[in-house]
Structure 1
């Protein structure tokens, strides 16, 4: 028995060392995201639109639980809208924790808008680029491809804000349903940062008026935020969790399947995308300082867009332990729209967990799919 234990320990140490070297030299060997087959149906610059193929199996695994694949599809397609800082991999993160596969299994026709890899060369991309140019172009292509005018939108964090802005600016009556997950509509209620924004709102207005200067007049390149800064800011919201996460990897480095899951999740946190400078300017002035969305009106393309023009069915989520987007901040969406059919759910999880954590399939995903299923015929 003692000899077998020593052999087992030696085998684990050898495997751990081999995995450590392989992760350093061939990190993509441990990345299992974006495994669901799709076709790219539209491209405009760095933005593209994906259509996911129907599942060719009768059953899939979600977590450790088997899930039957529905034999029929709902008529209204679902369009996934990611945030700007995180890549689209969050929707197809792991084979057993993929919201794309989950929605396909539930019988939905699934599309995704991929905002692409932003670099310093794209600092002039603005909120208007995303909301007034790319969103309508992407949805038009989805409608052409699906042959159905109505769409449902399922969006995470900033993706939800972009979808709401588009719905308000375009008055698109063919957005039938919208699901927003951890989308910070009221930025003055985002914890300490929100309190600071609320406190400096009036002084900033006075200074801007007296000096006749605005952040909007400054070059976009000064505000461009590289992806590594977004990653660092995200990790600093839970530094203890980041440390524990690293220690758990060290303990389980011998387990290849564990390393694959850990490395894929870590790639999500480590490989965040740049925020374009022009977009940051618009966010800081219109969304953060002025808190325009929470006030129900936001300036886009030189005109004020009113959110009381949004009347589609809306389901909004907040995480009960989200340290970035508070519950009141996410709930605010129900107060600015005129939708008669609207619901709000608080579910377990932090900012990442509420959307892609181990409990997300049984909470956010299941509730969303149930809600959409009765509104997608």
Structure 2
């Protein structure tokens, strides 16, 4: 190939990428890992990312299924972001059988949904469906819960309330002490004179936090990246792989759902303003959930580079989960999303989860924990 041929090829690649990002269909089409729909329902679709043969092999080998719980205001695709950064693909490739509960889109019509709907109904049903699908209708066994961000909060509340069919809980970048998050102490102090009712009233009138506001807030946490994006594109028009990775994140951000009104009020009033999450005793309607009594092994991840969950907020769980036979904390320096889907996740987070799960004995085994 001559120098002129190389220059012409480079110009074509740059022009093609510019066209794809502006008026075309994108650098690359979205690709999802093949999966099986195990159960359907409003805000509770359960997906299995392994075929029947892989499931049977894992069961014969004595494996334990992994149920991934997404955050409230992030799509379940966070665990299947791209072919390169797919946690479910990694689990399947390493012999595990991963399941994901998909909460779907959440809008104004869901404003009356609260923590109870997820903690006492949706996630326990997903656990039961996973157990039945993996072990068989007459089988018995447990699941490993793996979650990111607020998905970890939901998983811990479920483990504290349900207390069955859970072998372990892994939470990546889950804030467990809101007083250790930037801005929250100031917000709590500012609302002391009114008893914290003003934010709840605003949330109630709005019916929650709409999806566009959630998407904008997430982008604001990485405002430097957003400001530099046009220059990044111009600098890398000839770098198709870099632009494809950027496109994956952009698509992901555009699919963030909203927060339901009642749940958002509970997050503010109970978990944040009253500090019930950090104290370990969360009062839900009809049940008090004692996180300090969770008696299964727990793995936590934190980062000093995370703009949404500080290292201290994640590490608070080491002291909080006093009933657990083992609380393992991992420090991996990456962004909030990068901890589960990115180069740092591939190199460090996923192998650390593998090692933790491999180290666990079956529940009921004297060597467990």
- Assess same fold via TM > 0.5: yes
1:8 maps onto 2:9 in alignment: yes
1:334–1:342 CA distance, 2 compared to 1 (3 A):
same
Who is 1:32 aligned against?
30
* Residue 199 of structure 1: how far off its partner (Å): 2.2
CA distance in 2, matches of 1:222, 1:44: 26
Partner residue, 1:165: 157
What is the deviation of 1:4?
Answer: 3.6
Task: Find out whether 1:149 has 2:141 as its counterpart.
Answer: yes
Q: Map residues 1-377 of structure 1 onto 2, 5 A cutoff.
A: 3-4=4-5, 6-21=7-22, 24-27=23-26, 30-33=28-31, 35-54=32-51, 74-147=62-135, 148-170=140-162, 172-191=163-182, 193-200=183-190, 202-205=192-195, 220-337=204-321, 338-375=323-360
CA distance in structure 1 between the partners assigned to 2:166 and 2:53 by the alignment: 29
CA distance, structure 2, for counterparts of residue 237 and residue 47 of structure 1: 29
Structural RMSD (CA): 2.7
Equivalent pair of 2:172/2:340 in contact (CA under 8 Å)? yes
**Does the CA-based 8 Å contact 1:165-1:307 persist in structure 2?**
yes
Q: Is the 8 A contact 1:73 1:107 kept in 2?
A: no
TM-score (norm 2): 0.87
How far apart, in 2, do the equivalents of 1:314 and 1:13 lie?
A: 47
3-state SS of 2:348 partner: helix
TM-score by structure 1 length? 0.85
Structure 2 unmatched runs, 5+: 363-369
Q: 1:264 to 1:108 in 2, by over 3 A?
A: same
**Cα deviation code 1:159-218 (max 9, x no counterpart):** 000011111122x13311110000011111102x2221442464343x76xxxxx87688
Q: CA deviation at 1:362?
A: 1.4
Distance verdict in 2 for CA 1:43–1:5, change over 3 Å: closer
Give the SS at the match of 2:343.
coil
Give the number of aligned pairs: 354
SS in structure 2 opposite 1:111?
A: strand
List gaps (5 residues or longer) in structure 1.
58-69, 209-213
Question: How far apart, in 2, do the equivalents of 1:49 and 1:73 lie?
Answer: 23
Structure 2 match to 1:65:
none
